[in-house]
A and B are shown apart, each in its own frame.
Chain A
Amino acid sequence: MPESYPREHIEDLVDDNLEWNQLHDMMSDYKDADRFQKVRDVLQERVDWDDPIIIPYAEHLYVVAKPDDRWVIKCDCGHEFCEHDENWKADALINVRDSEEEYLEIYPEDMHPHPDYMELREFFCPGCNTLLEVTNVMPGYPLIHEFEPDIETFYNEWIEEPIPTA
């Protein structure tokens, strides 16, 4: 049971270089106490910009510290979306897959939702055009703001570390 994994091991996790048996061991073992800091530090090295990462927010997305005490959601391509407690999707590009023809690009006939009942909303980063999220909702559904992290509680009470600043 590792209290902490060697940094190289976490780098391999981030870089997708671990074998299945290593991953399986990580699932089965107790959780290492410094995982957050190690992953954050590795990710910081991997991005091409200098804003300190406060948390990894979603694949390709981070909450980063800006000089004027702002925390913003930023893509690894450098595109900045919005404040950390706002919905980044409002600043994204969207394609709505809501026709038989568009569904058939992904699914065989009869194996996709009916366009009148469900649409797929594809959200892309305006900076790199990466597909960041696909939501399957009834037509007419509001945008879902999936994650509002409580960063202050996390840093101040759970890991008892200062929040990174620019």
Chain B
Amino acid sequence: MTTEPTDTDQTMSSQHQQEESYPRMRREKEQVREQQKEGEGIGWDGQTLREQFEALEKRTEETGHYAGFDRLELKEERPIEYEQMFAQLRGDLVTARETSKEVAATPIVEQEGELCYGLFTPEGDSIAVSTGIIVHIHTMSEAIKYMINHDYEESPGIEPGDVFVNNDTHVGDVHACDIMTLIPIFHDGELVAWAGGVNHVIDTGAIGPGSMNVSQASRFGDGAQYTARKIGEDLTLYNSWKNDYPDKTRTPDFLKLDERTRMTGCLMIRDAVKDIIDEYGVEQFKQLSREAIEDGRRGFRNRIEKTMLPGTYRGASFVDALYEGQDNLTRAYADENHLMHAPSELHVREDGSFQVSFEGANKWGWHPYNCTPAAIQGGIWVMLTQTVIPNSNVNDGAYYSCDFHLPVGSWANTQNTETAHAYAWHFLVSAWAPLWQHLSRGYYARGFWEEINAGNANTSNWLQGGGIDQFDKLHAVNSFESACEGVGARYVEDGEPHAAAIWNPEGDMGDAEVWEMTEPLPFLGRAVKPNTGGAGRRSGGAGFESMRTVKDVSRWLLYEMGNGYMTSDGGLFGGYPAASGYILNAHDTDLKERFENQDDYPQHDLDPESGEFESKIDGEITREPKGISTPKEFDDYDMYLNYLRGGSGLGDPLERDPEDVLEDIHDGYVLPRHAEAAYAVVVEKVDDEAQHNSAVHGEFEVDEEATAELRGERRAERAKKAQPVSEWYEEERDRIRNEEALIDDVKKTYESSMRMSAQFAAFYREFWELPEEFSFTLSEKAEKSLTNRFDTGLKQKWKNPTKSHETWLGVGRDDEPQVPYTWTSDRSIRDLETPDATFSEPPRETATDDD
């Protein structure tokens, strides 16, 4: 064991800045400085870090194996030792997380576990990760690579004992509220690894309170951003840093403890690495770090070959971000509606590799839902680790098995540092929704039905806000109750109700009492919300709702964030999408008087049509089917509904067992009237007394005979009501040609995608048999908005990328993407000779009878 102190208080306390506090680190630092005087870098064998990184990329590209490791020598020759080393590292990462999260004070970290650690190679590839928000497997990788690519070795220098922070999305993050701490780990004058930790903080100092404000149009309202900054040396934070960041947030005490949390974890990881090196030697540690990634790369492909089918999978998802008429927008030009269009194409290639493309995605917008490549890549890992690689061998090896195409200038890869990203998840998680279905189609064909899931997408609402709280302090809130949503239906079971969120695999709504300690928003009720899960043979998991009031505040703001006019959770195999969101607030209420008089008051809004809420409260009630609002003033005894969404359904609802529908009613998952309408199940009320965990009072029974009859009639009605697709196609084509009954927001979205992508435009025109020059007629406002954004151009963060990062930047609008675009009828990946080939090369000649 190392003898160095690792206590966090010691780390950040001035009384422990004496040299003798960290003798080993001091010796390492002296050694590094001696080597630098002789012109040697901090990489292995005297290389600079950038030289080492470029050599690794070259070897990986030339051999097709990570770092050229075509053999897993350690694993093959000493498999037990290999597994022991990896398990020890992984265990130490998990321990670091479990221990350090107790340092934090926010329920976000302490209750929800919004914390994750990673161990990275000197080049920034993750070797192993902890549990938690493993979206950051790759975001921290990108931050390290950014530092290497921008010559941090020269300035500000990377030395033993240094501490770096990053939350710049364009460097490597999902959004600015995920703040990461990175420390380099040295041995014998060489950089051998990085330890990194990241957590979701409660407030980033954005223009509105909360970690993910939604009213800003650009980065300049997103909150404080720290671009891969050195904030300390000798494991001691700079005085300048300690005097800087606390004033850039409304919740400085929480952020200080968050930082101590991350430092604690990183130092525990540093110690763990040193222990491993002491036990096995540095060369074996280096060997393990390379092999673990190559092993991860191979493991991913093996799993794909074992459980999926090669071929092409496609889908599309949409989500609304409606800003027209919203108050408190930071720019007049942001007063418009945006819709996300995410065409999703996955090729599972003959070698088991993944090729993922979003070609056709529309332009970024003046909203905080834009994404960077690191965000998109992070998003895929948090999903894949819950299905394709549900084991401990999670690292950047999987990244090396995937090719991504994220169109430059789209919402998925803005390459423009002016764009806002505070709640990138709104688009990101919705855009990945089809990926679940791609995988599920593969699992179905292969027979692994126990793995099928209809999809898990948008999981808001996000209750956020802030002001002067119950302790008379400036405060901000961000309720992570949303870490506990209904999830998509499985093939073999219903989706889990109020269970998890895809971005946080642990899933916990948090204790109401704990939320009430940090939020001046007492709970009036918390209950399962009916009809939130999509209908199907297997129903989507139900979401839930919390009715909150406000108490002992001044100048308090709250707002909503989620989908409203669109649902981004599609169903599978005949299942229906999950329900979309709505907003319910009440201001100037008589709640106080009701409490005093012990009168009824609303605890729920289980059925928005029932009028029950309105019957139990007087006040100014706002009810609208939208998902997003900008910060609004709330006062004591005002009310706010926090509605957490459900998952999507799977299979034809007429095939659901009627007894299961009855249970749904009794459990509060389905309103009785929808048993008949959505499932063709006839139920009768047999008792007014509630005997179950029901949202609807009373006891019901299935009328089996009437149900059988109704189901027969419903099938017959389907045939009568539906029309052949060929007929529908002709009507629809004429409608599009004539631009009938399509609203401006929709046409603007299509135009945006067509202007972004020559390939999508060709597909759209081909499919609907439109003239080659076809374009939609837009309103003056929509045209101006598109022109404005397209003319904004690029403003890239990465000035000096190495080759692997240039691939993001080299694809122009009319170029063929590296990941083949095959939505048009004349293209298939089977026309390409190798997994690396693209349609920009001459197509293979089709064999003829003359050959």
Contact = CB atoms under 8 A, between A and B. Distances in A.
Interface of A: 10, 13-14, 16, 18, 20, 23, 26-27, 31, 33, 35-36, 38-40, 55-60, 85, 89-96, 104-114, 116-118, 120, 122-124, 126, 128-154, 157-158
B531 A111 contact: yes
B718 A124 contact: yes
B746 A39 contact: no
Secondary structure at the A interface, as helix, strand, loop or mixed, is mixed
Contact of B309 (A140, A142, A143, A150): A150
Contact of A130 (B309, B574, B623, B723): B574
B573 A138 contact: no
B725 interface: yes
B608 interface: yes
B447 A147 contact: no
B719 A129 contact: yes
A89 B577 CA distance: 18
Nearest to A149: B311
Given A33-B306, A117-B320, A138-B341, A93 B725 contact: yes
B441 A108 contact: no
Query: Contact residue range for chain B?
Result: 35 or more
A90 B726 contact: yes
Decide if the interface of chain B is mainly helix, strand, loop or mixed: mixed
Interface stretch (B109-117, B517-525, B735-743): B735-743
Contact of B671 (A59, A108, A120, A147): A108
A39, A91, A113, A152 — most chain B CB neighbours (10 Å): A113
A144 B729 CA distance: 13
Contacts of B573: 58-60, 132-133
Interface in B555-598: 564-567, 570-577, 579-582
A137 B318 contact: yes
Contacts of B722: 93-95, 122, 124
From A59, A90, A93, residue with most partner B Cβ within 10 Å: A59
Nearest to B352: A158
A39 to B, nearest CB: 3
B766 to A, nearest CB: 9
B80 interface: no
The 10 closest A-B pairs by CB, nearest first: A39-B447, A142-B767, A93-B722, A110-B582, A59-B573, A114-B565, A131-B574, A111-B579, A131-B652, A149-B311
Contacts of A55: 309, 445
Contacts of B745: 116-117
A90 B535 CA distance: 24
Contacts of A35: 446-448
Contacts of A60: 573
Contacts of B686: none
A55 B822 CA distance: 22
Interface string B283-325: 0000000000000000000010111011111111010100000
Scoring A38, A136, A150 by chain B CB atoms within 10 A of each residue's CB, the highest score goes to: A136
Interface string B170-211: 000000000000000000000000000000000000000000
A72 to B, nearest CB: 16
A130 B724 CA distance: 14
Nearest to B743: A116
B311 A129 contact: no
Given A131-B652, A147-B312, A105 B677 contact: yes
A151 B348 CA distance: 12
A153 B716 CA distance: 41
B565 A117 contact: yes
Interface in B733-759: 735-736, 741-743, 745-746, 749-750
Contacts of B608: 108-111
A40 B449 CA distance: 12
Nearest to B490: A23
B316 A107 contact: no
19 contacts: A31-B306, A36-B447, A59-B444, A59-B574, A91-B724, A95-B721, A106-B678, A107-B531, A113-B567, A117-B746, A131-B652, A132-B573, A134-B570, A136-B318, A140-B750, A142-B768, A143-B729, A147-B314, A150-B350
Given A36-B446, A56-B445, A134 B577 contact: yes
A114 to B, nearest CB: 4
B836 interface: no
Contacts of B822: 148
B44 interface: no
Contacts of A94: 722-725, 728
Contacts of B764: 142
A139 B746 contact: yes
Given A58-B441, A134-B574, 8 more contacts: A27-B390, A31-B307, A105-B678, A111-B580, A118-B318, A138-B339, A142-B763, A145-B314
A76 B589 CA distance: 58
Contact of A134 (B316, B564, B575, B677): B575
